[in-house]
Structure 1
Amino acid sequence: MEQITKNKKLSEVLLILWAGGAALLSYSLVYALRKPYTAASFDGLTFFGSDYKVAVTTIQILGYVIAKFFGIKIISELKKENRFRFFVGSAILAEAALIGFGMLDTPYNVIAMFVNGLSLGCMWGVIFSFIEGRKVTDILASLLGVSMVFSSGVAKSFGLFAMNEMHIDQFWMPAVIGGFALPLLVFMGYMLKRLPQPTAEDIALRNERVVLDGKGRKALFMKYAPILSLLFVGNFMLLVLRDIKEDFLVYILDMSNQSSWMFARIDTIVTLIILGLFALFIFFRSNIKALLWLMTLVIAGCLTMTYVSYHYETLDLEPVTWLFIESLSLYIAYLTFQTIFFDRFIACFRIKGNVGFFIAMIDFIGYLGTVTLLSTKEFLDINIEWFALFNHIACVVGAVCTVLFTVAGILIYRKYNKTFRLKEADKTYMNTQYNILSE
């Protein structure tokens, strides 16, 4: 028996290393196909009267938004035998778009970034579908989630390094970095494809994951509409704030006297902290306890973000310290819902569906907000001081999300108690009837 237990633990560790490593590297490499351009400033360039950098960002995100919209259906209904084919096709199309960005003349090459965003919009959901519904999904999803934090900084740092040290043109830099990433990304996809299927124990603890058609998606949302509405609105605000930070950080902070690798160093520390926090949830066998503690963690992050933003001048923080605290607070809140929350939500309420539906929904709503914000800024020709804008938005987002997620947490607890009491009442009634009939 002891030997069986040891073998079981060893197999779980090997699965974590295999699946977690493949998931982390996969999405890190997706960022290498999507985000290096954010390191370029494109000074002096315009897109038919608009700021060129804002235009590139907006149009890429527009493609991403459209992909997220269709991803609500695609990811929810994607069968496991088609995942790898979809994964590889998306990666190849993304790199082809980056080559087009380098080849085409400005400002028309912006269209290539639309194709890039369109091709990568469903990658997160596809990768997550390989690892969801397992006993160790908390750790696997944590590794996948923190890749988003780590890879954002690394992609920018590689972009700056390619331009400053290797003297690669800012328009060709994304294609060069993507060219190195593409074969590695395809290999990581193959590693995910070869993962063993969830075991009977996985299904018992986390519920079996199934495809979700249109009728099922509508019924699921209606059943949990109050909770999901609050979570979707909160995530909409968090994602807009995160995109402003990621895409315009070179405007928010003065990088002239900083190392090209500063982003990577800060994001690496943030990554390790979040990974440590999320990994602790593997010890929560109770799904409802895990959900409530996750909500507590999210609320704490939102409150910290509000406090630091509102009291920035009083605290007199160094820019690097400010960036670290804001990044940690933001990503704790944002990544909770992108990783382990909905996997636990499905397990807690024994929902017949998959995580892809939830993530595609919150991403579509959030990125739609980002496009709206950037388009409004350009249409009204507003001159933005990016640092002040980010601080103000972070303060408001943190405060509003604190309220939204507190109410959502209360509703989750009440919903669970109501469901649990009804089931217990049904069991008691059936036992009573059985005893009466037996007598």
Structure 2
Amino acid sequence: MAELKEFKDKIIKSSWLSSAWIMIAAFLCYTGMYAVRKSFLAGQYVDLGLSFDVDTKVVLVISQVLGYMLSKFAGIKIISEMAPDKRVKWLVGLVVFGLFMLGAFAVVPPHLKVLAIFLNGLPLGMVFGVVLSYIEGRRNTELLAAALSTTFIFSTGLVKTVGVVLIQDYGVSEYTMPFVTGLLFLPLFLIAVWMLKNSKKVDALDIKERSERIPMNRARRREFVKKHGIGFAGLVIVYVLLTIVRDFRDNFVVEFWAELGYSQKPALITLTEIPVAVIVLVLTAMGILIRKNKLAFNIGMGLTILGALIVLLATLLFENSLISPVAWMISTGVGVYLPYILFHCLIFERLIAFLQYKGNIGFLFYTADAFGYLGSVLVLLLKEVFKYNQTWVEFFINLNIKSAIGMLVLISLTMLYFNITKSSKKVLSELA
């Protein structure tokens, strides 16, 4: 134990080693959570035998996302108010409960499996906020958060690939596969939690550059909304559109590839996400090179506009058979995940610093994420209720085009709002 403590102290004292330590911990921690949340998407569940005339997998996805969404709404209060000494208990408790519900999903009767998957999603929406609280407010937050956020791209494909392999090569049933996958990743998750607990803390220079990060009670949350509510609302709506597109793509990527003729190539789910993860990681991590918070925020907004343009142009090219399915999935992956991860890594982080507000990004992120998943659920429900006579790919094409246009308009207006209002307040303070 003494040698382990000495090794840990050496890591903390070295700037680049401590950054690598946190990056690895954050990546492994959220990958472990994804194994508990996303692995069930590798199955089809056509034999579930629900009594109502809807796609059974869609019912399961909606059920889990409903639980996940409620977790996000709960996180607006819980995450924004959470004390640092409570983080480990919350992390382990949330993920272990979700894994236990996957065990229930494997054994309960068909009509209770929908409830089990709902309860699986119920705690997991708060995991990201707890992990993010370890890395926000640092001079290298963009780099650390980029490593965490690559799990959205790479790990979601990885756990689904593991799930498909368990079914196809090892004869694990569709209903047992999610629990087995989660169990395989659990040791890595527990190691990652220990690493986060023993990571380097925020120092005085971090606070000077990025503003102090403190818990936000109800009064402080109301104060923020009162001062910056209009611009914040614009950011939330953009994030809702990003979440809808990203979540639909993520939830039904197996169906997309099947319709496109690649059902016997499960590795493609992961392989096509690797270039997306690399491109997005490099671009978002470069945010640490921008010391001025206003400039970093504006660059983040500009890259969000670029992402929307990529989604729009790539989808139009694919619709007209001018690019291949693989090129389309990679291009739209970059276009969606770049701004989506920028919200996690840079936009909210630098907005707090830009506004010089004492608080935390947990409140901003969880407000946006809660409404994002609400939008995702509504889209799935509308698709089933109105019985759109479209394939998964056709529906995704239309969703991409409409969402990209909406984002282009909203992000431009929101960017203009924050720059004008901040400049106006600066002038007024100088005249006072």
TM-score, with normalisation over the residues of structure 1? 0.92
Instruction: State the distance in 1 between where 2:68 and 2:50 align.
Output: 19
**1:162 matched to 2:163:** no
Q: 1:145 aligns with which of 143, 149, 152?
A: 149
Q: 1:412 aligns with which of 398, 418, 431?
A: 418
- Give the deviation of 1:261 after TM superposition: 1.0
What is the DSSP-based 3-state SS (H/G/I as helix, E as strand, rest coil) of the residue aligned with 1:376?
helix
**1:18 matched to 2:21:** yes
Instruction: State the distance in 1 between where 2:214 and 2:224 align.
Output: 13
- Give the deviation of 1:381 after TM superposition: 3.9
- Give the deviation of 1:103 after TM superposition: 0.9
**1:331 matched to 2:337:** yes
Instruction: State the distance in 1 between where 2:336 and 2:392 align.
Output: 17
Show structure 2 runs of 5+ residues with no match. Answer: 1-9
Show structure 1 runs of 5+ residues with no match. Answer: 1-6, 427-439
Kindly tell me the number of residue pairs found equivalent between the two proteins: 420
Alignment-derived partner of residue 365 in structure 1: 371
Instruction: State the distance in 1 between where 2:128 and 2:106 align.
Output: 26
Q: 1:173 aligns with which of 141, 153, 177?
A: 177
Alpha-carbon distance change, 44 to 103 in structure 1, aligned in 2, over 3 angstroms = closer
8 Å contact kept, 2:26–2:148: yes
Q: 2:251 aligns with which of 240, 244, 247?
A: 247
Instruction: State the distance in 1 between where 2:104 and 2:301 align.
Output: 43
- Give the deviation of 1:253 after TM superposition: 2.5
Letter in 1 for 2:213: R
Alignment-derived partner of residue 435 in structure 1: none
**1:395 matched to 2:423:** no
- Give the deviation of 1:149 after TM superposition: 0.8
Deviations 1:166-215 (A, max 9, x none): 11100000000111112321221121111222111000000110110111
Structure with larger Rg: 1
**1:265 matched to 2:268:** no
Instruction: State the distance in 1 between where 2:408 and 2:295 align.
Output: 19
**1:82 matched to 2:89:** no
Equivalence map 1:27-426=2 (5 Å): 27-49=30-52, 50-254=54-258, 256=262, 258-426=264-432
Alpha-carbon distance change, 385 to 257 in structure 1, aligned in 2, over 3 angstroms = closer
- Give the deviation of 1:9 after TM superposition: 12
Q: Percent identity?
A: 31
8 Å contact kept, 2:11–2:18: no
Instruction: State the distance in 2 between where 1:310 and 1:66 align.
Output: 35
**Greater mean alpha carbon deviation, residues 400-409 or residues 378-387:** 378-387
Letter in 1 for 2:322: D
- Give the deviation of 1:420 after TM superposition: 2.8
Deviations 1:53-82 (A, max 9, x none): 011100000101111111100001000010
- Give the deviation of 1:415 after TM superposition: 2.5
Alignment-derived partner of residue 7 in structure 2: none
8 Å contact kept, 2:319–2:397: no
Instruction: State the distance in 1 between where 2:50 and 2:326 align.
Output: 32
Instruction: State the distance in 2 between where 1:48 and 1:372 align.
Output: 22
8 Å contact kept, 1:29–1:184: yes
Instruction: State the distance in 1 between where 2:244 and 2:49 align.
Output: 23
8 Å contact kept, 1:68–1:363: yes
Instruction: State the distance in 2 between where 1:89 and 1:10 align.
Output: 30
**Greater mean alpha carbon deviation, residues 243-252 or residues 10-19:** 10-19
8 Å contact kept, 2:102–2:179: yes
TM-score, with normalisation over the residues of structure 2? 0.94
- Give the deviation of 1:21 after TM superposition: 1.0
8 Å contact kept, 2:142–2:346: yes
